[in-house]
Structure 1
Amino acid sequence: MTAVTPSAWQTEPFPDSPQGWIDRAAEVAAVLSTDAAARDKAGATPYAEVRLLKESGLVTLLGPAEHGGGGQSWPTAYRVVREISKADGSVGQLLGYHYLWNWAARLVGTREQWEHVEAEAARNRWFFGGAVNPRDNDVVVTEDGEELVFTGRKSFSTGSKVSDVTVLEGVLEGTQTHIFAIVPSNSAGLTFHDDWDNIGQRLTESGSVTLDGVRTPWSSAAGFVDKVFQPRVYNTLNVPTIQLVFVNLYLGIAAGALETAAAYTRTKSRSWLHGGYDNAVDEPYVIDAYGDLTAKLWAAEALADRIAEEGERLHGDPDAVTEATRGEFEVRTAAAKAVATEVSLEITGRIFEVTGARATTSTEGLDRFWRNVRTHTLHDPVAYKRREVGRFVLTGEIPEPTWYS
């Protein structure tokens, strides 16, 4: 990775406004963009990239200001994820997931737990990873006195080796109860495997992880009091909050693709020899394509921002969240996910129409945008997101909270 000189960030105070943090993210993105294609090709563990996120303060964005955090809200976090993703989708995903795992303590934990986690995370600039895939009961949690023991294997573990702490998830033996706990990433028995070899999001450290008797105190089990979970409707906001991270990841990658393609068209594309124009930027079909794709992107971004603000009203008063307000937020988020998926795939695929054959060289690396979007948009079928919206429109039905709805 290009050498980073973070001295300016270390001597300057944190931004004091949402726009200030978005501007800070743009500064980080400018550094990442200088060698994004080369780093994608190398596929090396992104230690330097995560260090950049820490030195810039972006990892503390959601943390309490009194403990050294940015004191910002989810709408700002989404915009920051989008900004970083313009330059590097992998780093955008790492940061977005970091925000999610950091917030997980507030999502399901007791007040004492989440206040402790958020304070420590902000003070120490922890970077979070997560070994969480509740679709499969692949990790069993057993009791050993006042300790919990996690044993099993997870197929995915985004963040893995570059994280300071990892959120674990497993099912308590003999029950259907899922337990979440935060442990140091260097905990005994926690082994991350270098087996993430997908076509896109190559630097996300999303390989499998083995849990061979990883121990943590019962007191670290998020949301449990005297070994009994204390449920709230707010606990079910995990899916729409996660999905909005995905939405902004996709839109950021799409915006990056469009910006990179436009720069190529302006400086390198040649006009068609039979078109009658001296410059590619003057060709009507090129102008039309950029106008079409930009209009679609702007519309999708506006929808994402609007829904983020709607969600923040729920985050602002967790105890007031009802099944109805949660359900409507999930439906709105599902609509944004469907639109963002379609728009990002279209943009990252069509940019080659307006850049030309020479833009397909591996040196340019324009294919990384499509590979990144195509890989992550398969996380969960978008058809089921459209189904949530359709059922709500036709029957008023809101989605039942699951790990994916």
Structure 2
Amino acid sequence: MATTPSTLLRTARDVAEDLAADAITRDRAGRPPVDERARLREAGLLAALTPPGQDRGADWRTGCAVIREIATADSAVGDLLARHYVHAWSGRFYGGPHEAALLEEASVREQWLWTGAVRAPAPEGEPDGPDLVLRPRDSGYVLTGRRSVDTAVAVADQIVLDAVCAATGEVLVVRIPPRARGVQVETAPDRLGQRVAGAGEVVLDRVGVKPSQVLGRRPDEEEAAAPFTALAEPALRLALCHVGLGIAEGALTEVRDLSRGGRAHRLPGEDPDLLLTYGELASAAHTASAVVDRATDLMARALATGGLLDAEEPASVAALVATAETVTSRAAMHITTRVLELADAPGLDRFWRNARVLTAHRPAAHRLRSIGEHYLNGSHRAVAAAYL
């Protein structure tokens, strides 16, 4: 039976409390998230965070609330769960409803962990050629190339990738089991932050791809994408906004508890300027939360509309997501930097490192220009990022 939103959120809080207990130790170790995957699976979160269906899955608002709860305790695990949830929607974003339903049922039954790296359409193409190529054969395709993956590269059950078909030039979205023949993974244990997320590269050497593993076609131009398909890229960016909020809120909560316990550099009762600082930081977090929540509501309505989505609506969703991303990135970096000035406690630096890694590849200037274009000209072009 489907889990109610309130029950799912209680489970998420219990898992978050468990993760917070050893977050610093696991961050320092920087190992692949084998134990973290087991904790999520045991709690039922991998099965619960799939698209909503009859007696299964989670609606968009609830899914994002779970991601944010987990990210507050451990943003690397929140990152892993955010990408799992969005990539579990891939059957709907790129394929047909019947195939998507079968895939989601299998995901719930097997408690799959999803990850992926789907490129957004490049405005000017790829000057160096595609990094992943599919070549047809009698029983499907063979896939060759390599791609960076931000989470769970060594522990996922399904990796969603896009690749160019050598015969037709089409860009196809496929799912690959990491333990399939010809797949190798190279982990990245020395990351600055998000160390437990399990980032790395997947190397594919003539990996067999069955027709059932082809989720659908990804248009090579933004304007050609079906309205519902166009939601895939901003959906992930919005889920990651909840991870960024989790980082900011987790940092602020931890340093507040240090101040209350008398372990910070300055005590609130002795320094009224400290109250001003906390007011500023709390306001920044509340402002980001308000914008992200508004974008989450708009995305939830668009996803619920499904195939009846208006052609212009994805651009409005993408513009608001870009706004949420801009505000959240600034808030997360500002808050995690300032808390280091308020206290000097073991592990407090992880919040800044995690925020830095999460936001480093999403330049604000590009987003702001796209937001301005949509606001001024009503452009229907989506606000794109490099990868999903």
TM-score (normalizing by structure 2): 0.90
* Alignment: residue pair count: 374
In the alignment, is the contact (CA less than 8 A) between 2:135 and 2:166 conserved in 1?
yes
After the TM superposition, which residues 317-396 of structure 1 pair with which residues of structure 2 at under 5 Å, given as runs?
317-355=305-343, 358-359=344-345, 364-396=346-378
- The residue that corresponds to 1:265 in the other structure is 259
- The residue that corresponds to 2:76 in the other structure is 90
* 309-318 or 392-401: bigger deviation: 392-401
Cα distance, 1:157–1:169 mapped onto 2, change above 3 Å: farther
C-alpha deviations, 1:189-222, integer Å up to 9, x for none?
A: 1111123522011111111110011112123211
Cα distance, 1:386–1:281 mapped onto 2, change above 3 Å: farther
Ranges in structure 2 where 5+ consecutive residues have no aligned partner = 218-223
RMSD of aligned alpha carbons: 2.2
In structure 1, C-alpha distance between the alignment counterparts of 2:379 and 2:103, rounded to whole Å: 36
C-alpha deviations, 1:2-24, integer Å up to 9, x for none?
A: xxxxxxxxxxx8741x2332222
- The residue that corresponds to 1:275 in the other structure is none
Paired AA for residue 338 in structure 2: R
In the alignment, is the contact (CA less than 8 A) between 1:67 and 1:123 conserved in 2?
no
- The residue that corresponds to 1:9 in the other structure is none
In structure 1, C-alpha distance between the alignment counterparts of 2:169 and 2:207, rounded to whole Å: 20
> 1:350 Cα deviation (Å)?
0.3
In structure 2, C-alpha distance between the alignment counterparts of 1:41 and 1:321, rounded to whole Å: 45
In the alignment, is the contact (CA less than 8 A) between 1:131 and 1:158 conserved in 2?
no
Establish whether residue 109 from structure 1 lines up as the match of residue 103 from structure 2: no
- The residue that corresponds to 1:79 in the other structure is 65
- The residue that corresponds to 1:8 in the other structure is none
- The residue that corresponds to 2:33 in the other structure is 46
> 1:232 Cα deviation (Å)?
2.6
In the alignment, is the contact (CA less than 8 A) between 1:257 and 1:351 conserved in 2?
yes
Cα distance, 1:57–1:32 mapped onto 2, change above 3 Å: same
Establish whether residue 254 from structure 1 lines up as the match of residue 248 from structure 2: yes
C-alpha deviations, 1:54-100, integer Å up to 9, x for none?
A: 1111112244777763x321111111111111111110000001011
Cα distance, 1:403–1:390 mapped onto 2, change above 3 Å: closer
Cα distance, 1:65–1:245 mapped onto 2, change above 3 Å: closer
In structure 2, C-alpha distance between the alignment counterparts of 1:402 and 1:270, rounded to whole Å: 41
- The residue that corresponds to 1:123 in the other structure is 109
In structure 1, C-alpha distance between the alignment counterparts of 2:211 and 2:322, rounded to whole Å: 35
In structure 2, C-alpha distance between the alignment counterparts of 1:393 and 1:121, rounded to whole Å: 39
> 1:115 Cα deviation (Å)?
0.7
- The residue that corresponds to 1:235 in the other structure is 229
Give the SS at the match of 1:212. strand
Cα distance, 1:218–1:270 mapped onto 2, change above 3 Å: closer
Give the SS at the match of 2:180. coil
Q: Which has the higher contact order (CA 8 A, sep 6+)?
A: 2
- The residue that corresponds to 1:221 in the other structure is 214
- The residue that corresponds to 2:170 in the other structure is 177
Establish whether residue 302 from structure 1 lines up as the match of residue 302 from structure 2: no
In structure 1, C-alpha distance between the alignment counterparts of 2:341 and 2:349, rounded to whole Å: 13
In structure 1, C-alpha distance between the alignment counterparts of 2:104 and 2:361, rounded to whole Å: 28
> 1:231 Cα deviation (Å)?
6.2
Paired AA for residue 127 in structure 1: L
Establish whether residue 140 from structure 1 lines up as the match of residue 107 from structure 2: no
Paired AA for residue 393 in structure 1: Y
Give the SS at the match of 2:172. strand
Paired AA for residue 74 in structure 1: W
In structure 2, C-alpha distance between the alignment counterparts of 1:19 and 1:367, rounded to whole Å: 32
In structure 2, C-alpha distance between the alignment counterparts of 1:330 and 1:65, rounded to whole Å: 22
Cα distance, 1:46–1:268 mapped onto 2, change above 3 Å: farther
- The residue that corresponds to 1:293 in the other structure is 281
Give the SS at the match of 2:37. helix
> 1:282 Cα deviation (Å)?
4.3
In structure 2, C-alpha distance between the alignment counterparts of 1:172 and 1:293, rounded to whole Å: 49
In structure 2, C-alpha distance between the alignment counterparts of 1:288 and 1:334, rounded to whole Å: 29
Cα distance, 1:339–1:190 mapped onto 2, change above 3 Å: same
In the alignment, is the contact (CA less than 8 A) between 2:51 and 2:59 conserved in 1?
no
In the alignment, is the contact (CA less than 8 A) between 2:185 and 2:203 conserved in 1?
yes
Larger radius of gyration: 1
Q: Percent identity?
A: 31
Cα distance, 1:161–1:288 mapped onto 2, change above 3 Å: same
In the alignment, is the contact (CA less than 8 A) between 2:50 and 2:85 conserved in 1?
no
Cα distance, 1:270–1:331 mapped onto 2, change above 3 Å: closer
> 1:335 Cα deviation (Å)?
0.6
Equivalent residue for 1:204, pick from 173, 185, 197: 197
- The residue that corresponds to 2:221 in the other structure is none
Ranges in structure 1 where 5+ consecutive residues have no aligned partner = 1-12, 225-229, 273-278
> 1:112 Cα deviation (Å)?
2.1
> 1:354 Cα deviation (Å)?
2.1
C-alpha deviations, 1:10-46, integer Å up to 9, x for none?
A: xxx8741x23322221111100001111110111111
Paired AA for residue 178 in structure 1: V
